[in-house]
Structure 1
Amino acid sequence: MRKKIRVLIVDDSAVVRQTMSEILSSDPQIEVMSTAGDPFIAAERIRDEVPDVITLDVEMPRMDGVTFLHRIMSQHPIPVVMCSSLTERGSETALKALEYGAVEIIQKPRMGTKDFLEESRVRICDAVKAAAQARLRKISPHTHTVAPKLTADVIMEKPSSHAMMQTTEKVVVVGASTGGTEALRVFLESFPADCPGIVIVQHMPEGFTKAFSRRLDGLCRISVKEAADNDTVVRGRALIAPGNHHTLLKRSGARYYVEIKDGPLVTRHRPSVDVLFRSAARYAGKNAVGVIMTGMGDDGAKGMLEMKQAGAINIAQDEATCVVFGMPNEAIKLGGVDYVRPLEALSREVLRLCD
């Protein structure tokens, strides 16, 4: 019998602890080991038994979650999934947590509609399972019916087999999930100021992508911004899909632009990499270069195959440099990948293929 993933929930709200416990216990692969109201109580729990994964609130009394995370990762690394209420200030704080080694950020569940709570359940359980598989770096029994796993068909029809005519202008589309925030930093920092236009889907909750984009914009030679509806894809700029919204690549004449859409979860995500990649297959065809990076699950695999069938050239991040090799591996197995490269070589490969 497969060993369950044992989780310690750390949050100062009793309501959130209860809700998180119910959400995680609904997954047959997960077991809630214990809960704690603050990091000091959590430290006592860890002394008794080391969990497989910790879910950790950002703002708590006595010690904030980011400080506690830093201590965990510098002494005895344990996979940590950060929870946030998604305030603007909290977004910046949670992004710092990713720098300190948090595997993932998830939206703290709030009381609301049944659909919202079900989407939260899927995202939280997937984040915990991804964290349990993650490669960490050290720094100085109730079952629940799984929601249908929708495909990109719910957002856009599958493209025809005819790839569009090639032009001189290339566009790069990128998908990433668990571990992707730091991987994208390495990837984008390597590009020169006049690189081809880039559109990115990074699985991230609403409220984080704007702060994440600003952070990258300050680090990179290219400009980086959270995508807005009708933004033009231009050289020297990366557009990051806003959290909780699908982002599609479109074309009008010689102009590429993005469309921001609502809609159901696709491959359990919104934004979905499959949606972006399918739109690239339809509207860019041979003009596109696809990149799939670290992340759990298979979002992007089918879309990348559609891109290849439309004439695009695709690259996957290699296993050795992925935090979780799920998404690249699924794309490779499905046959949509032309090249497999380590993280540090991805930008060079993109520039070579776009030249």
Structure 2
Amino acid sequence: MRKTRVLIVDDSATQRRLIAHALEGHDGIEVIAEAADAYQARDLVKTMNPDVLTLDVEMPGMNGLEFLARLMKSRPRPVIMISSYTRRGADAAVQALGMGAIACIGKPAAGNPDEVYRHLPDLIRTAARARLSPAGGHVKSRPYGPSTAPIVDENFRSGHWMVAIGSSTGGVEALTTVLSNYPSQCPPTLITQHMPGNFLRSLAARLNSNLSPEVKVADAGEVLAPGRVLFAPGDRHMILDRSDRIVLLNTPPENGHCPSVDVMYRSLVPRARHVLAVQLTGMGADGAQEMLALRMGGARTIGQDEATSTIYGMPARAFELGAVERQLPLDRIGPAILDMTRTAETAQAR
């Protein structure tokens, strides 16, 4: 079987060594070269044609974001960004994910670097299977702008109807596309996205500044209400109690993740008849089993289709289990959410 050929790009020789060490000896992966800056990386991409790159966000000269933009335009291929956990690094990481990077992980600061990079081989394998558009970046779907957004009644209110979204690899673009359809008075929405806490806060802040509803990382005890989109923090599971208040759990990872989509979905099963669950792009099966429980309890469910998923893993497992009621391309999911919740509210009011 052909190995996935990896180019490591980082201005720190120590980091290059740590990344290479994390990948050595793993089946199906071969580190073919290392580059100390974007200019070396540019030449190595041309001459060695790697399958996947790891790319430092902050480098002297041409930084990682500038190089990523050029790469996706001229020679698109999967990229995993390596970023610091600082506010600046997190903001750049989220920007990179929006530009087409497959995933972003934080650099080890203190402690065991092997622990920080232990998931890197799986990410490399996942990135090698990711779908890229011909122009670079993830498979693109047309986001709705102000002139094409679906018309929402001024009296549209969600009442007790709510939306729960699970996503992982490729989720930044997917969530941006879906939420760009939301009016200010949107259905109350919970999101579990697999991402480190600092990166999630940067993502929520970026979405909040560009979208109509309030978007933020959830705090314990706050109330989910229409017009609010709440993300699970990066280090705790998020559930909703019977009084519509957020509860954050310091319990072990589930399906290898904390926060876990399954944990969020499970908390909503008692109110399944008022839930629309949405499974977006991502690797693994997190969310599939409890989405099935939600559907069996009367919830409506949507899964992203294979053609527009960066990684058709999480939505595929849900579809295979029979948990997905409707499978849709990315650009149709946002309008479908508004249509299905509005229709359900009308039906419940009768």
What is the TM-score when the length of structure 2 is the normalising length?
Answer: 0.86
Q: Secondary structure at the match of 1:251?
A: coil
Instruction: Name 2:256's counterpart in structure 1.
Output: 268
Cα contact 1:316–1:332 (8 A) shared by 2: yes
**Whole-angstrom CA distance in 1 between matches of 2:303 and 2:222:** 26
Instruction: Say which of 289, 301, 306 aligns to 2:288.
Output: 301
Instruction: Name 2:6's counterpart in structure 1.
Output: 7
Instruction: Name 2:245's counterpart in structure 1.
Output: 257
**Whole-angstrom CA distance in 1 between matches of 2:33 and 2:253:** 30
Instruction: Name 1:53's counterpart in structure 2.
Output: 52
Q: Deviations over 1:96-126 (max 9, x none)?
A: 212321111112234414xx8446412x223
Q: Secondary structure at the match of 2:241?
A: strand
1:5-154 paired onto structure 2 within 5 Å: 5-113=4-112, 117-118=114-115, 120-122=117-119, 124-137=120-133, 138=135
Instruction: Name 2:307's counterpart in structure 1.
Output: 320
Q: Deviations over 1:181-205 (max 9, x none)?
A: 0111111110122221000011111
Q: Deviations over 1:276-327 (max 9, x none)?
A: 1122224x32221100011122111112112223321211011122112111
1:214-229 paired onto structure 2 within 5 Å: 214-229=205-220
Q: Secondary structure at the match of 1:320?
A: coil
1:159-198 paired onto structure 2 within 5 Å: 169-198=160-189
1:139: how far off?
Answer: 5.5
Does 2:246 correspond to 1:246?
no
Does 2:343 correspond to 1:347?
no
In structure 2, do the counterparts of structure 1 residues 16 and 93 end up closer, same or farther at CA, with 3 Å as the change threshold? same
**Whole-angstrom CA distance in 1 between matches of 2:290 and 2:29:** 30
1:127: how far off?
Answer: 2.3
**Whole-angstrom CA distance in 1 between matches of 2:73 and 2:209:** 27
Instruction: Name 1:336's counterpart in structure 2.
Output: 323
1:30: how far off?
Answer: 2.1
1:85: how far off?
Answer: 0.9
Cα contact 1:247–1:276 (8 A) shared by 2: yes
Deviates more, 1:256-265 or 1:98-107: 256-265
4+ runs deviating over 3 angstroms? 116-120
Q: Deviations over 1:8-47 (max 9, x none)?
A: 1111222221221122225323222222222122223223
Q: Secondary structure at the match of 1:112?
A: coil
In structure 2, do the counterparts of structure 1 residues 106 and 174 end up closer, same or farther at CA, with 3 Å as the change threshold? same
1:261: how far off?
Answer: 2.3
Cα contact 2:77–2:136 (8 A) shared by 1: no
Q: Quick one: percent identity of the two aligned structures?
A: 41
**Whole-angstrom CA distance in 2 between matches of 1:26 and 1:260:** 38
Which residue type is aligned with residue 23 of structure 1?
A
Q: Deviations over 1:60-100 (max 9, x none)?
A: 12221111111111111011111111210111122221232
* Structure 1 unpaired stretches of 5+: 141-166
1:168: how far off?
Answer: 5.6
Deviates more, 1:176-185 or 1:305-314: 305-314
Aligned-residue RMSD, C-alpha: 2.0
* Structure 2 unpaired stretches of 5+: 138-157, 343-350
Q: How many pairs are equivalent?
A: 321
**Whole-angstrom CA distance in 2 between matches of 1:134 and 1:190:** 25
**Whole-angstrom CA distance in 1 between matches of 2:331 and 2:42:** 36
In structure 2, do the counterparts of structure 1 residues 105 and 72 end up closer, same or farther at CA, with 3 Å as the change threshold? same
Q: Secondary structure at the match of 1:131?
A: helix
Cα contact 1:12–1:60 (8 A) shared by 2: yes
Which residue type is aligned with residue 222 of structure 1?
P
**Whole-angstrom CA distance in 2 between matches of 1:29 and 1:289:** 39
**Whole-angstrom CA distance in 2 between matches of 1:174 and 1:318:** 15
Cα contact 1:301–1:331 (8 A) shared by 2: yes
What is the TM-score when the length of structure 1 is the normalising length?
Answer: 0.85
Which residue type is aligned with residue 169 of structure 2?
T
In structure 2, do the counterparts of structure 1 residues 104 and 285 end up closer, same or farther at CA, with 3 Å as the change threshold? same
In structure 2, do the counterparts of structure 1 residues 10 and 264 end up closer, same or farther at CA, with 3 Å as the change threshold? farther
**Whole-angstrom CA distance in 1 between matches of 2:117 and 2:75:** 29
Which residue type is aligned with residue 217 of structure 1?
N
Does 2:268 correspond to 1:280?
yes
In structure 2, do the counterparts of structure 1 residues 223 and 299 end up closer, same or farther at CA, with 3 Å as the change threshold? same
